[in-house]
Amino acid sequence: MKRTMTIAEISALVLLMLFALSGCGSPQEKADEAATGLTAGEPAGLSEEPTGLTGEQAGLSGEQASLSGEPTGQNTDDAQSSPDTDEVPLSLDALQGHWVDVNGDTTLDFAGDQMTVHWGSYEDLYTVGVTGTDRYGTVFNAKDRNLMFEMMSELIWRSGVLTAGEMVLDAEGHSYRFVREDALASELAIVDDSRDMPKEITSDELTEFHLTFSLEDTWFDVPADADLYSGRYSINVEREESGAYLLTYHVSGESYIIKQYRSEVGEEFVKGLVKLIREQGIPEKNGYYLHNSTSVHSWSLLAEYESGEELLLMAEGDAALECPFSIYRFLEYVEAETNG
């Protein structure tokens, strides 16, 4: 029987770095970043998240960034335009009019320095100020900079998009992403930015395997009677200098660890992973990357071989509600090893 618990998103695996894409960005932002020259086996290093991974989870991202997933945007003095850039100070003029939330039904309406927030049958009015530039800035409550409709201390402005995170103690709150109404369709559209990567793996010698996913927004192909928790899952296998293989299996809730397993495994276990990869035809899907701008938890798979060959697959947003291979087969395989 499934035991349902709410969860907090844990830091992205190295695969997120390899794709060098922000989970909060618009399809166009992600496509622009993807076009920066990412190649197999070459970490792009463009994300603000940690880029290294040794099989352990990197720690909760909420301790390193704002709840919105954007830079924390400490309240600094108003930014001035620079002769070295095209940036200009952010003004209230850029905010005027109606904004809608990609991830819900909350709306914002700006008229001068007045911001009206509508959510459900509720409505709040705030006098707001701005700081920063037209590329990155903040929108804040001019009367009380630490409070804005009981959900956040400020809105983050980033190139025409407003983001914020709901502040909930020991929980993962709502992620707000406000755009103009005429941009909503493109924000929700699933974009295929799959990479052109080799569709055949010749090696049978696996050196690294990383799989992350969440059993919250969807349970993929996990049977209804499976004895598993709702949570954020991470499966990591790495070959050590000694030649031995280390398995780290981590399941996390919102502010707690559900399961943590770390132990060496034999070559037969690793051969079983190689077999699962081949049986599901995962190499034929190498480079798979679908995404949109919603806040659904992502999934990612990375595998590296002695030959230097790699597998990279990933989905974000609503595209991550589906997976082109069986999550459950890997999960079942690892559960059998760690529960023995």
Q: Please indicate, yes or no, whether residues 202 and 254 belong to a single structural domain of this protein.
A: yes
The verdict on residue 126 lying in a domain is yes
Q: Please indicate, yes or no, whether residues 205 and 59 belong to a single structural domain of this protein.
A: yes
Q: Please indicate, yes or no, whether residues 117 and 232 belong to a single structural domain of this protein.
A: no
- The arithmetic mean of pLDDT across residues 81-97, rounded, is 82
Cα atoms in the Cβ-side hemisphere of radius 13 Å centred on 258: 21
Which run of H or E residues covers position 93? none
Are the C-beta atoms of 100 and 178 separated by less than 8 Å? yes
The residue ranges of DSSP E strands in the chain, in sequence order, are 97-101, 107-111, 114-119, 122-132, 136-141, 154-158, 161-165, 175-179, 191-192, 206-214, 232-239, 245-252, 257-265, 289-291, 299-305, 310-315
d(CA 336, CA 340): 6
- Which pLDDT tens digit goes with each residue over 109-156? 999 999 999 988 999 999 999 999 999 999 999 999 888 876 667 999
Q: Please indicate, yes or no, whether residues 207 and 265 belong to a single structural domain of this protein.
A: yes
Cα–Cα distances in angstroms (integers) from residue 165 to residues 56, 60, 146, 178, 227, in the given order: 26, 15, 14, 11, 32
Is 169's pLDDT higher than 80? no
The verdict on residue 83 lying in a domain is no
- Which pLDDT tens digit goes with each residue over 292-333? 999 999 999 999 999 999 999 999 999 999 999 999 999 999
Q: Please indicate, yes or no, whether residues 238 and 320 belong to a single structural domain of this protein.
A: yes
- Which domain range does residue 126 map to? 92-165
The verdict on residue 129 lying in a domain is yes
Q: Among residues 219, 246, 232, which one has the least CA distance to residue 322?
A: 219
Domain end (from 116, 147, 165):
165
pLDDT of the residue at 170: 62
Q: Please indicate, yes or no, whether residues 117 and 61 belong to a single structural domain of this protein.
A: no
Q: Please indicate, yes or no, whether residues 60 and 195 belong to a single structural domain of this protein.
A: yes
Are the C-beta atoms of 226 and 334 separated by less than 8 Å? no
Instruction: Give per-residue burial for 192-211: e unless 16+ CB within 10 Å, then b.
Output: ebbbebeeebeeeebbbbbb
The verdict on residue 87 lying in a domain is no
* Residues found in the chain: 340
Q: Please indicate, yes or no, whether residues 103 and 240 belong to a single structural domain of this protein.
A: no
Strand, helix or coil for residue 158: strand
Q: Please indicate, yes or no, whether residues 262 and 228 belong to a single structural domain of this protein.
A: yes
**Structural domain count of the chain:** 2
Cα Rg for the chain, rounded, in angstroms? 22
- Which pLDDT tens digit goes with each residue over 197-249? 999 999 999 999 999 999 999 999 999 999 999 999 999 999 999 999 999 99
Phi, psi of 209 (to 5 degrees): -145, 125
Q: Please indicate, yes or no, whether residues 196 and 308 belong to a single structural domain of this protein.
A: yes
Q: What is the pTM of this model?
A: 0.71
Q: Please indicate, yes or no, whether residues 214 and 333 belong to a single structural domain of this protein.
A: yes
Cα atoms in the Cβ-side hemisphere of radius 13 Å centred on 329: 14
The verdict on residue 77 lying in a domain is no
